[in-house]
């Protein structure tokens, strides 16, 4: 199945289709939450996607 993200066709089931919780993002990036927040503010780290009220994820 395909869907569109920012106008680009994405195949479901791939890394572009998975939202990761903060703990997994932290393991991959090796930075603290406050560092990620500062980097987001200047455009050097992706912004989280709202999954539900009070829960966010980052595209893998």
So what's the pLDDT on residue 14? 63
- Give dist(CA 9, CA 12) in Å, integer: 10
Does the pLDDT of residue 1 top 60, yes or no?
A: no
The DSSP output letter for 46 is P
Per-residue pLDDT of 26-36, as tens digits, reads 999 999 999 99
So what's the pLDDT on residue 46? 93
Query: pTM (2 decimals)?
Result: 0.68
Per-residue pLDDT of 5-51, as tens digits, reads 677 776 666 656 788 999 999 999 999 999 999 999 999 999 998 88
How far separated are the first and last CA of the chain, in Å rounded? 18
Cβ atoms 10, 3 nearer than 8 A: yes
């Amino acid at each position: 199945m395909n869907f569109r993200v920012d106008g680009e066709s994405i195949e479901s089931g791939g890394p572009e289709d998975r939202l990761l919780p903060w703990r997994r993002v932290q393991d991959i990036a090796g930075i603290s939450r406050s560092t990620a927040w500062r980097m987001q503010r200047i455009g050097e780290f992706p912004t989280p996607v709202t999954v539900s009220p009070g829960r966010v994820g980052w595209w893998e």
